[in-house]
Structure 1
Amino acid sequence: RVRAGHVLVATGLVDELPDVPGLRERWGRDVVHCPYCHGWEVRERPIGVIGSGPMSVHQTLLFRQWSDDVVYLRHTAPPLTDEQAEQLAARGVPVIEGEIAAVETAGDRLTGVRLRDGRTVDREVLTVAPRMVARAGFLAGLGLRPQPHPSGMGEYLPADESGRTDVPGVWVAGNVTNLSAQVGAAAAAGAWTAAMINADLVQAETQRAVEAHRGARAGG
């Protein structure tokens, strides 16, 4: 048991992948998610983007910068808007309809996906946007629970710019509140929020000192 007046939560998040057999086993190898983290390593290879959420078309357009051979596997994502369909067509990205049944491999190499209707789509790389969920279940007893993120990307702990939550004394930093922050931004947020906590402590200590000072003067 630990007692503290202020708590800084920096527990990060959990990536929840679509329930497609074989997908998790290839995660971080030839199944990737970020064009900035992994784009160079998969450049100019046949890439398939699995539709899994509201940002999937945007993700497809980002990976199109890295390869001329990109297909959009709509899977369970919402139907394309007219604007999205036009964008993908203009960038030469075919749209494959149909739910994915499994990831196909040969040896220790990804070869594509098999759709529920039996068709196969040959690919060397798959990209998918995971659902990102703040690792914060242990805070439920304090009345603090992850909320749906406005972007639809997952669940986060809301906070103000300083990292202060709605629960007095509980502060958050990094991916637990900023789902898309990379390592540098998350670390910087931790330092910033720690400084804000210390400023809050200084203010409280100073207020107590002022009250004690006033009491001593009145008593003297």
Structure 2
Amino acid sequence: MTRERGIGQGRRYDVVVVGGGPAGLNGALMLGRARRSVLVIDSGEPRNAPSAHMHGFLSRDGVPPGRLLEAGRREVTGYGGEIISGRARSASREAGGFVVELDTGARVHARRLLVTTGLTDELPDVPGLAARWGRDVLHCPYCHGWEFRDQPIGVLYTGERSVHQALLFRQWTEQLTLFLHTGPGLTGEEAERLAARGIAVVTGEVAEVETADDRLTGVRLHTGELVPLRAVAVVPRAVPRAGVLASLGLRPVPAPHGVGEYVAADPTGLTTVPGVWVAGNVSAPAATVLVAAASGATAAGAINADLVDEDTHRAVLRHRDPFSHESESVLCAQVMGGRRHGL
């Protein structure tokens, strides 16, 4: 059983992890093994919740996403980490670190923050599309392509990235149709590339997604024509769950190719706010589960190294003057200020 418990007002941790998905749990696992006190705040909204299985994760291929999270929670708590259900409403700087306020009004304190809140996939407004998301309405061929190999797949064109998506899905099936739903339309080069790969192009908006017996059967165009399909691929718009970061002055920036936004960070996940790291889909919209988990581990290593620097700085000052009354806030400001760097 996973050990989850409430928190008391004023509780202080080395690291508070906001977000209990693969990135957050893997970060917490690494920090727990580093003998850091860690609290994970989990709102229970994993991005891949609609999917029955996850793929491309070595040794866990085909495992339901929830089962991976259950195992991760057991491992984190096995190293002394704490996990609570809730939502972080805001965070602010205080002497020695940060204070995080939950939607319940509870407040916890941390020397460092790791934010792994993920993102929301914003889909085109087509009736029936959202209800099939993660099942037979897809976005990642590496996650779902094998399951729909050699079957008719439609790609909903909403911009330049959709052409790239169609060319990728062509690896899994020859029965591929690109629907020019919205967007600027194809360039001559794009049309040639699609034709060369035998990808059909249909002009006209898609009116709705058709289903029968709890499975997608096709799309109906505004003309009334029904095109039989087994799956539909779409490029969603990535919307980071960045509310807690916004309270610290961190705002998402536009992602390449107009596919949404992300929170910028350096390769370790360190943001422009000293002491605040990000990992997973909040900073890398295209990251798979395995990549998201790895980014959590990378951030954890950087956070622990940063804390070691701070602990060592304190120890040096005490060694020089055992009777020094220099405040904790000054010490932390010296170390965290020295660690700040640009992206």
Shift of 1:150: 2.4
- TM-score relative to the length of structure 1: 0.92
Q: Tell me the distance in 2 between the aligned counterparts of 1:217 and 1:21.
A: 70
- 1:52–1:130 contact (8 Å) kept in structure 2: no
2:205 maps to 1:99: yes
Among 194, 201, 216, the alignment partner of 2:307 is: 201
Instruction: Summarize deviations over 1:90-148 as a string: whole Å, max 9, x none.
Output: 01111111121111223423222122233332222111121122111232211112221
Q: Tell me the distance in 2 between the aligned counterparts of 1:110 and 1:188.
A: 34
Alignment of 1:106-125 (within 5 A): 106-125=212-231
- 2:123–2:237 contact (8 Å) kept in structure 1: yes
Name the structure 1 match of 2:290: 184
Runs of 4+ in 1 over 4 A off after TM superposition: none
Instruction: Summarize deviations over 1:140-198 as a string: whole Å, max 9, x none.
Output: 21111222112322111100011110112211011111111111111111111111011
Name the structure 2 match of 1:210: 316
- 1:54–1:153 contact (8 Å) kept in structure 2: no
Q: Tell me the distance in 1 between the aligned counterparts of 2:131 and 2:322.
A: 68
Q: Tell me the distance in 1 between the aligned counterparts of 2:217 and 2:290.
A: 34
Q: Tell me the distance in 2 between the aligned counterparts of 1:71 and 1:16.
A: 22
For 1:208, the aligned partner's letter is R
Name the structure 2 match of 1:157: 263
For 2:263, the aligned partner's letter is L
- 1:22–1:102 contact (8 Å) kept in structure 2: yes
Name the structure 2 match of 1:53: 159
Instruction: Summarize deviations over 1:5-60 as a string: whole Å, max 9, x none.
Output: 21001111111111100001112222122111111111111111011333111110
Among 138, 157, 164, the alignment partner of 1:32 is: 138
- 2:159–2:185 contact (8 Å) kept in structure 1: no
For 1:6, the aligned partner's letter is R
Name the structure 1 match of 2:236: 130
Shift of 1:216: 4.9
Q: Tell me the distance in 2 between the aligned counterparts of 1:171 and 1:194.
A: 9
Among 241, 250, 254, the alignment partner of 1:144 is: 250
Structure with bigger RCO (C-alpha 8 Å, 6+ apart): 1
Cα distance change of structure 1 residues 69 and 155 upon mapping to structure 2, 3 Å threshold: same
- 1:146–1:155 contact (8 Å) kept in structure 2: yes
Q: Tell me the distance in 2 between the aligned counterparts of 1:193 and 1:162.
A: 5
2:200 maps to 1:71: no
Among 39, 42, 65, the alignment partner of 2:148 is: 42
Q: Tell me the distance in 2 between the aligned counterparts of 1:193 and 1:67.
A: 38
Please list every run of 5 or more consecutive structure 1 residues that lacks an aligned counterpart in the other structure.
none
Name the structure 1 match of 2:196: 90
- TM-score relative to the length of structure 2: 0.60
Taking only the aligned residue pairs, the percentage that are identical comes to 61
